[in-house]
Amino acid sequence: MDVKKEQEQQLLDYSRQLSDTDGHTLLRFAAFLAQAEASAPRVANQQGKAAIPAPVIIPRPAKERVVDAIKRLSETYPMLDKKKLLGQTAGMVAEHVMGNKPAQGVIDDLEVSFRRAYELWSQSQGSGEC
């Protein structure tokens, strides 16, 4: 079975386990993801061959909690593998939680980390590596 078919089967299995309300929520979420993918802005790579998704710019609020910043940055860079960023973000959050660094400084670091991850990702897309 190919990956797409396996994912479809898993989604169907999960859907069958949900209440009607949660099933409707799952359906709305899937529609949201499909719409976001279809409408994601695209930029040409360095060779001008393929188009890659551009970040979805979401302005930073004047007062923002670290967790909210992570959510915002995840929405800004939906193309990034969040599992790969987990180690970095967890360390930064820990610095804040332990009281070693104020929220604004951690959020600044998070923004740099996500931006760098996007730059590396877009370079790999442009070179044909994945």
Over range 90-119, report the average pLDDT.
90
Residue carrying structure tokens 């987990």: 86
Question: What's the pLDDT score for residue 65?
Answer: 92
Question: What's the pLDDT score for residue 44?
Answer: 52
Give the tens place of pLDDT for each residue, 38-76. 555 555 545 555 577 889 889 999 899 999 999 999 999
79/53 Cα distance (integer angstroms): 7
**Which amino acid is residue 80, in one-letter code?**
L
User: Which residues on neighbouring strands pair with residue 51, listed in sequence order?
Assistant: 44
Look up the pTM and report it.
0.59
Question: What's the pLDDT score for residue 129?
Answer: 47
Structural domain spans, the chain: 1-39, 44-130
pLDDT-derived band of residue 130, with 50, 70 and 90 as boundaries? very low
130/127 Cα distance (integer angstroms): 9
